């Protein structure tokens, strides 16, 4: 059965309009090309529990594109002109793959320990000619990046304390952690180490999704010169 792209194009265009973000025709085409590959591969590889393509538009594409405004907010992304991004536990490439389409000038590493999922992502990278995407099959604890990572994000990966613990070896003074969550995880926030700052909690409104979404922005404290001299 051939999947009709037209309804998906309409749903995507409507969601983009509600998000009030700028998306080129080429980017829309690439986003839907990715979705079509996901639908195709999901039948055999079980990449996502979402089977309905129109729900995939909402829960995968729009739920990723909702982060686009964050890339223009210094309080979220920092002031260092971040260009290297790591998506931890990316699964089928959410949100890193859609974001790589939106920001071709930035580099995205998609990390997952599941071989089926990384094989799918390598295929997507090839078919969509994503030169700004690297796919890495590894557990986060043993991952050694080729270059410094500026921003690390995750979606439905783990608890905040586990996320911080897993990526701690990758963090520098300017590294930002962006965790996509549903309701604000108050208990998880309380369990964070004292060296971790909660910089900002941003409510996210995903078109077509009647569920709470929040972006938790974390940084790590480093001793000042005064503190080191005490």
pLDDT digits (tens, 9 = 90+) for 99-122: 999 999 999 999 999 999 999 999
Domain interval for residue 90? 5-71+84-228
* pLDDT of 83 above 60: yes
In a domain? residue 183: yes
**Is the C-alpha dihedral spanning 205, 22, 37, 151 positive or negative?**
negative
In a domain? residue 79: no
Across the chain, mean pLDDT equals: 94
Q: Which strand ranges, in their side-by-side order, compose the sheet holding 151-155? A: 133-137, 107-112, 84-88, 151-155, 176-181, 214-220, 196-203
CATH of residue 212: 3.40.50.150
pLDDT bucket at 81, cuts 50 / 70 / 90: low
Task: Determine the Cα–Cα distance for residues 131 and 81; give it in Å rounded to an integer.
Answer: 20
Residue 124 CA to its chain's centroid (Å): 16
In a domain? residue 118: yes
pLDDT in tens, 50-68: 999 999 999 999 999 999 9
* pLDDT of 228 above 60: no
Query: Number of folded domains in the chain?
Result: 1
Percent of the chain with pLDDT over 90: 87
In a domain? residue 76: no
pLDDT of 1:
64
pLDDT in tens, 18-27: 999 999 999 9
In a domain? residue 134: yes
Q: How many CB atoms lie within 10 A of CB 102?
A: 20
Task: Give CA angle at 197 (178, 175), nearest 5°.
Answer: 50
pLDDT of 2:
78
pLDDT bucket at 171, cuts 50 / 70 / 90: very high
In a domain? residue 36: yes
Residue among 174, 180, 213, 181 nearest 197 (CA): 174
| Distance (Å) of CA 9 to CA 24, 95, 204 | 13, 19, 22
In a domain? residue 77: no
pLDDT of 82:
75
Average pLDDT over residues 24-44: 97
Cβ-count burial 145-157 (b if 16+ within 10 Å, e if not): eeeebbbbbbbeb
pLDDT of 173:
86
pLDDT in tens, 108-163: 999 999 999 999 999 999 999 999 999 999 999 999 998 999 999 999 788 999 99
pLDDT bucket at 13, cuts 50 / 70 / 90: very high
């Amino acid at each position: 059965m051939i999947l009709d792209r037209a309804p998906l194009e309409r749903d995507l265009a409507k969601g983009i309009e509600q998000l009030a973000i700028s998306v080129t025709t080429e980017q829309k085409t690439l986003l839907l090309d990715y979705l079509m590959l996901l639908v195709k591969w999901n039948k055999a590889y079980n990449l996502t529990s979402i089977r309905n393509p129109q729900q995939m538009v909402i829960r995968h594409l729009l739920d990723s594109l909702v982060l686009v405004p964050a890339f223009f907010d210094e309080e979220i992304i920092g002031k260092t002109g971040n260009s290297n991004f790591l998506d931890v536990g990316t699964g089928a490439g959410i949100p890193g793959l859609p974001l790589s389409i939106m920001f071709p000038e930035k580099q995205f590493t998609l990390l997952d320990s599941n071989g089926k999922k990384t094989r799918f992502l390598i295929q997507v990278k090839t078919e969509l000619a994503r030169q700004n995407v690297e796919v890495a099959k590894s557990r986060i604890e043993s991952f050694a990046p080729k270059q410094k990572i500026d921003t690390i994000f995750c979606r439905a990966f783990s608890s905040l304390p586990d996320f911080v613990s897993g990526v701690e070896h990758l963090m520098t003074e300017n590294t930002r952690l962006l965790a996509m969550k549903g309701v604000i995880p108050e208990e998880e926030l309380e369990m964070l180490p004292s060296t971790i700052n909660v910089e900002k909690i941003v409510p996210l409104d995903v078109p077509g999704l009647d569920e709470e979404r929040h972006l938790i922005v974390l940084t790590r404290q480093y001793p000042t010169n005064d503190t080191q001299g005490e």
